[in-house]
Amino acid sequence: MKWWKNLKKNPLARFGALLLLIFYLVVIAADFIAPYDPYTSQPNGSLLPPTQIYWQNQAGEFIGPHVYPTTQGPVDLETGLRELNVDLSKPSLLNLFVKGTPYKLLGILPLDRHLFGTTGEGKFNLLGTDEQARDQFSRLLFGGRISLFIGLVGITIYFPLGMIIGGISGYFGGWIDSILMRFAEVLMTIPGIYLLVALAAVLPPGLTSAQRFLLIVVITSFISWAGLARVIRGQVLSIKEREFVQAVRAMGANSFYIIVRHVLPQTATYVIISATLAIPSFIISESVLSLIGLGIQQPDPSWGNMLSLATNASILVLQPWLVWPPALLIILTVLAFNLLGDGLRDALDPRNLQR
């Protein structure tokens, strides 16, 4: 396949695809990779910085990588920082495949082993803990499930809707085209963020995070398909006059079959590229909505509501490990999708396919 060869020659597209593959595999296996339950608080362990790893015990003997039980002490009034109470008498070795909180891998296989962890009282908080004393690294992995998959779920609603409506509008034309396109133009005038804010004011406050997640996806998809439908309509207007479509119509095929089987597949190149570039918009929408309190709510993690701590200036200065990891992951994910989308666009360009 020529387009596949063209895509493999693009180093930026390969980098984006590899990065996305790593991200999705990690969040799918979050139960195994995360050392702790993202909802469980550690005793007296709120806002701990990333855990320091030691290699020698207090006698100077090498015992391998280990940590010590650490809790928060009183606040230093001069610096505003909390003192750390480190119990140097109880080294806790770091190991791989450590026994921990039971879980079901992929929701099927019951396990209790985690990729890494400690074998003593000490906790290994790779990215520190949040204000509720929950492990930040574990919450980052579980939060990635929502932030990454919201885009995939969104395009499964958004793209079929845009393709079918655009295809019907372009193929039949006339009054059907006029009604569908006027409706699409009305939807395009609706600012999505303001619509979601207005809905949040009238919806029952007892919605779960799963219900909010579904609501975000459905509403964002419903108001986003119009632009895609208009582009598909324009392509169908030219495709329906080609000889192979005329031949199928002359053979007695019904209109719906012609649209789905022969017309819409001709728009596949544009759809694939557009889908790849549309996913980041869903990720950013979830992040923004969760950031302003309209999306996924605590205690359920998402990269967006983890960023909500950025509204506190003292957090940015004194506990930067709470803000920068989710922000960096959002940036890298959006960048990776854009690099992959640009690579697909170049690989599927007819001029490149003919070379």
Residue 36 lies in a domain: no
Residue 134 lies in a domain: no
> What pLDDT is attached to residue 24?
92
Written as six digits, the tokens of 242 are: 């080609």
Residue 26 lies in a domain: no
Residue 319 lies in a domain: yes
Same domain, 191 and 99: no
Beta bridge partners of 56: 62
Same domain, 113 and 145: no
> What pLDDT is attached to residue 75?
65
**DSSP structural state of residue 260:** I
Domain final residue pick, 124, 157, 186: 124
Same domain, 90 and 238: no
Structural domains of the chain, count: 2
Domain final residue pick, 124, 156, 181: 124
Residue 89 lies in a domain: yes
Render pLDDT for 282-319 as a digit per residue (tens, 0 to 9). Answer: 777 777 777 666 677 778 888 888 877 666 656 666 67
Same domain, 115 and 145: no
Domain final residue pick, 66, 94, 124: 124
Render pLDDT for 130-172 as a digit per residue (tens, 0 to 9). Answer: 888 899 999 999 988 888 888 888 888 888 888 888 888 888 8
Residue 232, pLDDT > 70, answer yes
d(CA 43, CA 165): 55
Residue 285 lies in a domain: yes
> What pLDDT is attached to residue 22?
93
Mean pLDDT of the chain, nearest integer: 80
Residue 247 lies in a domain: yes
> What pLDDT is attached to residue 25?
93
Render pLDDT for 56-105 as a digit per residue (tens, 0 to 9). Answer: 887 778 888 888 888 877 666 565 566 788 888 888 888 888 888 888 88
Render pLDDT for 21-31 as a digit per residue (tens, 0 to 9). Answer: 999 999 999 99
Q: Is the peptide bond before 299 cis (omega within 30 degrees of 0)?
A: yes
Same domain, 201 and 57: no
CA dihedral 138, 140, 142, 147 (to 10 degrees): 180
Percentage of the residues of the chain whose pLDDT score is greater than 90:
5
Q: Indicate the pTM of the whole model.
A: 0.82
Residue whose structure tokens are 């017309």: 263
Average pLDDT estimate for 187-200: 72
CB 303 within 8 A of CB 143: yes
